[in-house]
């Protein structure tokens, strides 16, 4: 699996997940692209490379028309951290994500595109993200 963590998640989380899951390629957005890259441009770039998933707290990508169009046309799987995820500090977010990486990887094996709400609890099911 290739997983990119958006700017709204700590760079340190991407590094920690990569160390814990060396069989995957997990990287922060700023490690792969310039900090000034637009969401549309990085989505298109990931689509061209193929096989990418994105983890983000940016719910606006699904409502801003130009970003939504890029999402709808790209073979990229998006995992959204919404709802209760927003109340967690970096350490708690990292601790919960550590347990969810296998679930993210399994979903990316099943589909090349889509939008999913990542559950807070390990035992919860992954569900399509509602627009």
Count of structural domains within the chain: 1
Give the pair of three-digit tokens for residue 112: 């090349």
Check if the beta carbon of residue 17 is closer than 8 Å to that of residue 99.
no
Strands, sheet with 25-28, edge to edge from the N-terminal-most edge strand: 25-28, 2-5, 52-56, 76-80, 114-117, 127-128
- For 67, the domain range is 2-128
Distance CA 36, CA 43 (A): 14
For tokens 């799987």, name the residue: 77
Residue 5, pLDDT above cutoff 80: yes
Residue 131, pLDDT above cutoff 70: no
Of the listed ranges 30-34, 72-76, 90-94, 127-131, the one predicted with least confidence: 127-131
**pLDDT tens string 17-65:** 999 999 999 999 999 999 999 999 999 999 999 999 999 998 877 778 8
Question: At a CB cut-off of 8 Å and minimum separation 6, what does 70 contact?
Answer: 39, 40, 43, 44
Distance CA 29, CA 11 (A): 8
Alpha helices in the chain (DSSP H): 11-20, 29-32, 39-49, 65-73, 90-110
Give the pair of three-digit tokens for residue 23: 């069989």
The CATH number for 108's domain is 3.40.50
């Amino acid at each position: 699996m290739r997983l990119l963590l958006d700017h709204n998640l700590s760079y340190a989380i991407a590094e920690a997940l990569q160390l814990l899951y060396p069989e995957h390629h997990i990287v922060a957005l700023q490690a792969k692209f310039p900090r000034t890259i637009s969401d549309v441009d990085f989505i298109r770039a990931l689509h061209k490379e193929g096989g990418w998933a994105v983890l983000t707290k940016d719910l606006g990508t699904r409502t801003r028309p130009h970003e939504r169009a890029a999402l709808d046309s790209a073979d990229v799987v998006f995992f959204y951290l919404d709802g209760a995820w927003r109340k967690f500090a970096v350490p708690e977010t990292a601790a919960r994500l550590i347990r969810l990486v296998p679930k993210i990887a399994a979903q990316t094996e099943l589909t090349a595109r889509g939008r999913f709400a990542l559950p807070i609890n390990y035992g919860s099911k992954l569900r399509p993200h509602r627009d």
